[in-house]
Structure 1
Amino acid sequence: MKIAFYTLGCKVNQYETQALEQLVTQRGHSLVPFEETADAYVINTCTVTAVSDKKSRQVIRRARKAAPDAVIAVCGCYPQTHPDDVEKLGVDLISGTGDRTGFVDLLEREWRDRQPITALDDAFQRRSFESLPAGGLEGRTRAMLKMEDGCVNFCSYCIIPYARGRVRSLPLADCVRQARELEAAGYREIVLTGIEISSWGQDLEGKPELMEAIEAICQGLSPDTRVRLGSLEPRTITPDFCRRAAALPNLCPHFHLSMQSGCDTVLARMNRKYDSNRYYKSVTFLHEAYDRPAVTTDLIVGFPGETEEEFQQTLDFIQKCAFSAMHIFPYSKRPGTPAAKLPGQVRNAVKEERAHRAAQIARTMQDTYLDSWVGETVPVLFEEEREGLWRGHTTRYCEVEVQSVQPLHNQLRQVQITGHAGGALQGVLV
């Protein structure tokens, strides 16, 4: 069977698609690009916003129109929470966010029998972590290691706990084993990912904390194999966390601390578990432990009820934090969440204008951060060549561009930084 995959959404979805790719190729099936003719098209969906749902539906319709006789299989968060919506699209196989190995069995059955299948469970009844093959196929430099699934934070704007269920953790020994296997396969950087990795260990015996896993993984690898963390809950960052993290030479000093707002009243309406003062303490702890750590974040603008004064508080706060990079999103109303019913829904034009203002500040902060590296020599892990330039990333996840007539894929090289443009550092090989 020729199978084409399409992935929407987060790094966990990307990881799970890569795992599915490995599972189907192990059974003798072949992979083809999504734009080419295939026997089956698998769409791994996202449902984090209403816009995500729309994108998922568009891809499903596109696949069905392009290949009316092929198997159209849909999995991921969207069918887990909205199976009826997916069924209306004429999908052959509907699955959710669990039992990926079982999904491959069903895909083969659907290809053989051509009888519509819907296979969904109750995400909140899951109690064990589904271990899947980590990494990806050949040609990749950076591998993802999924160490956690599920979330019980129940932020007022988020439907993901209903799609993913309770916290489940990959046992510590398995985390270390998978990391070593990825290193042995040639990956030079491993990204620890999950729905909410700060919750790792809550369901394991003895309730180990995240730093125990980070230390064990880093110490089980060679010093040249990078370990990068996925998004962290801000309260994870404590003086003890920073002290232990800074002692790990292969842990990248890049910390993505999910923020969403810099205004306490908005954070309260979001049902976030911290205030701006606690968030800023986390940023301060990191700067005390590291030289120029890359602190990045997410920001939602135009949350229901957000006034101009509240938004200005957020703008002042992000400048105080001096982020190296930001992801900025206009609030997207998500049916099924408490925030969708809150009064004071902000007009789209206002949300877009606020996103633009925040993005201007974010670009200025990024330029300032990149300026600080000009003239320095830094290690860069190169990934690909585009438009005549080899591109890679520093430990702080700054993109770097250099010219080279020799291939640099998956090489760790020293680069002297000469400048920056378009959000990327530029330099010459040393």
Structure 2
Amino acid sequence: MKIAFYTLGCKVNQYETQALEQVLTGRGHTLVPFDGEADAYIINTCTVTAVSDKKSRQMIRRARKAAPDAVIAVCGCYPQTHPDAMDGMGVDLVSGTGDRLGFAGLLERTWQERQPVTALDNAFDRRSFEILPAGGLEGRTRAMLKIEDGCVNFCSYCIIPYARGRVRSLSPQDTRRELERLLEAGYREIVLTGIEISSWGQDLPGGQTLIDLLETVCRDLPGEVRIRLGSLEPRTITPDFCRRAAALPNLCPHFHLSMQSGCDAVLARMNRKYDSARYYESVQLLHGYFDRPAITTDLIVGFPGETEEEFQQTLTFLHRCAFAAMHIFPYSKRPDTPAAKMPGQVLNAVKEERARRAAETAAEMEHTYLSQWVGQTVPVLFEEEQGGLWRGHTAHYCAVAAPSPRDLHNCLVQVQLEGLEGNTLKGVVL
């Protein structure tokens, strides 16, 4: 079959699409662009917001309209939580977030028999971590390695626990085995990702935590290999975590600490498991153990009930934390969550205006953070050439561009940083 993928949502979805691509090509199928002609179109969906649902439906309809005779297969979080939404959309194969390896066989069966198939389970019944092949089919620079699935935090705005089920962890032995396979394939940077990696180990014997896994992963690694972490909860950052993490030379000093709000009243309504004081404690700990750590975060503005005073508290808190970069989202009502039913829903115009103000603050902080690297010499892992410049990232995930007559793809080289243009550091390869 000629198979086309379209992926919405988070890095875990991207990872699982890459795994499915490897499985299907290994079974003799061919990958083609989604906007081209294919025998099967696979939409890997997201359901984190109502907007995500809408985009998923749009892509399903687009594929069906463009290819009336093709197999339309839908998987991911949207059908897992809303299977009835697939009715009447011309979907041939409906799957969810489980048994991704079995999905390949179901796709072949649907193509051969031309009979609709629905294969969904109860996410909370899952007890084991499904090991999928890590790494993409091209690039060979940075690869994602999924080490955890599931979440039991039940934030009031989020439906993902129902889509992914309880916490399930990839064992240290299997993690190390997958890591070594990626290194043999030529990858120089591995991003440890998952739905909620701070909960890694909760389901494993022995009381293991994420820092135990990091020590296993980083043991005896070559110096040119980087390990980068996905999103973390503030509770992960303790003195013990920082002391042990700072002793791992391969670990990138880039920490994405999920925040969502800098106002304690809003955090309580969100059912987050920390307050601003605990969050700031994590920020201070990281600065105490790492040289200029890149601390990045997510922010939701316009959460139900958020007043102007509460938003101002968040803006003040952002300045205290001095983030290197931020992702800012106006609150999007997610049906079937407690937040969707809360009083005090904020007008869209107000949410957009607050997002703009937060973005201005974020841009100022990013410029301040990047400016401190001008004049420094740092190793850069280069990924691709664009417009005559090689582009890559530092261990702190600062974007760098530098000219070079050499092919620098997947090369880790020293660069003298000489200036800043927008949010990209300009440098000279040494």
TM range (shorter): over 0.9
Compared with structure 1, are the counterparts of its residues 153 and 129 closer, same or farther at alpha carbon in structure 2 (3 Å cutoff)? same
Does residue 277 (structure 1) correspond to residue 280 (structure 2)? The answer is no
Q: Is contact 1:96-1:120 (8 Å) kept?
A: yes
| Aligned 8 A contact 1:380 1:415 in 2 | yes
Residue 335 (structure 1) aligned with residue 321 (structure 2): no
**2:296 equivalent in structure 1:** 296
Contact 1:5–1:17 under 8 Å retained in 2: yes
One-letter amino acid of the structure 2 residue matched with residue 361 of structure 1: T
Quote the Cα distance in structure 2 between the aligned partners of 1:280 and 1:405: 45
Q: Is the 8 A contact 1:180 1:220 kept in 2?
A: no
Counting only pairs closer than 5 Å after superposition, residues 247-396 of structure 1 correspond to structure 2 as 247-396=247-396
Does residue 43 in structure 1 map to residue 43 in structure 2? yes
Q: What is the aligned partner in structure 2 of residue 423 from structure 1?
A: 423
1:27-426 matches, cutoff 5 A? 27-426=27-426
**Contact 2:140–2:185 (CA<8 Å) still a contact in 1?**
no
CA separation of 1:220 and 1:61: change in aligned 2, threshold 3 A: farther
Structure 2 SS opposite 1:378: strand
Matched residues in 2 for 1:47 and 1:325: separation? 25
Do the aligned partners of 1:179 and 1:221 also contact (CA within 8 Å) in 2?
no
How far off its partner does 1:165 sit? 0.2
- The answer to whether the aligner puts 1:22 opposite 2:22 as a matched pair is yes
**Cα distance, 1:220 vs structure 2:** 4.4
Shift of 1:150: 0.1
Shift, 1:404, TM fit? 2.0
Q: Which amino acid aligns with 2:400?
A: V
TM-score (norm 1): 0.99
| Aligned partner letter, 2:60 | I
Asked whether the 8 Å contact 2:392–2:399 carries over to 1, the reply is yes
**CA-to-partner distance for each residue in 1:173-206, whole Å, 9 max, x for gaps?**
0011111111111000000000000000000111
Q: Give, in whole Å, the separation in 2 of the partners of 1:244 and 1:280.
A: 20
Deviations 1:250-276 (A, max 9, x none): 000000000000000000000000000
Q: How many residues align?
A: 430
Distance of 1:350 and 1:387 partners within structure 2: 39
Aligned mates of 2:220, 2:33 — CA distance in 1: 36
Structure 2 unmatched runs, 5+: none
- Runs of 4+ in structure 1 deviating by more than 3 angstroms, as ranges, are none
SS in 1 for 2:204: coil
CA deviation after TM superposition for structure 1 residue 221, in Å = 2.3
Gap regions ≥5 residues in structure 1: none
Report the CA distance between 1:388 and its aligned residue: 2.4
Q: Is the 8 A contact 1:398 1:425 kept in 2?
A: yes
Tell me the residue number matched to 1:4: 4
- Which letter does structure 2 place at the counterpart of 1:350? V
* Alpha-carbon distance in 2 for matches of 1:158, 1:5: 26
Q: Is the 8 A contact 1:264 1:275 kept in 2?
A: yes
Letter in structure 2 aligned against 1:196: E
Q: Is the 8 A contact 2:380 2:394 kept in 1?
A: yes
Letter in 2 for 1:396: H
AA of the residue aligned to 2:28: G
Letter paired with 1:179: L
Superposition deviation, residue 138 in structure 1 = 2.7
Deviations 1:330-380 (A, max 9, x none): 000000000000000000000000000000000000000010000001111
Q: Distance in 1 between matches of 2:106 and 2:83?
A: 17
Secondary structure at the counterpart of residue 284 of structure 1: helix
- Partners in 1 of 2:324 and 2:7 — Cα distance? 27
What letter matches 1:92 in structure 2?
A: D
- Deviates further, 352-361 or 395-404: 395-404
Contact 1:183 1:221 in 2 (8 A): no
2:273 maps to a residue whose letter is K
Deviations 1:301-343 (A, max 9, x none): 0000000000000000000000000000000000000000000
Contact 2:140 2:186 in 1 (8 A): no
- SS where residue 59 of structure 2 aligns? helix
**Contact kept in structure 2, 1:74 and 1:94, CA below 8 Å:** yes
Q: Deviations over 1:47-105 (max 9, x none)?
A: 00011111111111111111111111010000001111123311110000000111101
Contact 1:144–1:190 at 8 Å: present in 2 too? yes
Residue 332 of structure 2 aligns to a residue in which SS?
A: coil
Q: Secondary structure at the match of 1:425?
A: strand
CA distance in 2, matches of 1:46, 1:426: 36
Q: Percent identity?
A: 76
Deviations 1:228-259 (A, max 9, x none): 00000101001111111110000000000000
SS of the equivalent of 1:297 reads: strand
Choose 276-285 or 127-136, whichever is displaced more: 127-136
Q: Aligned partners of 2:139, 2:264: CA distance in 1, in Å?
A: 45
3-state DSSP of counterpart to 2:306: coil
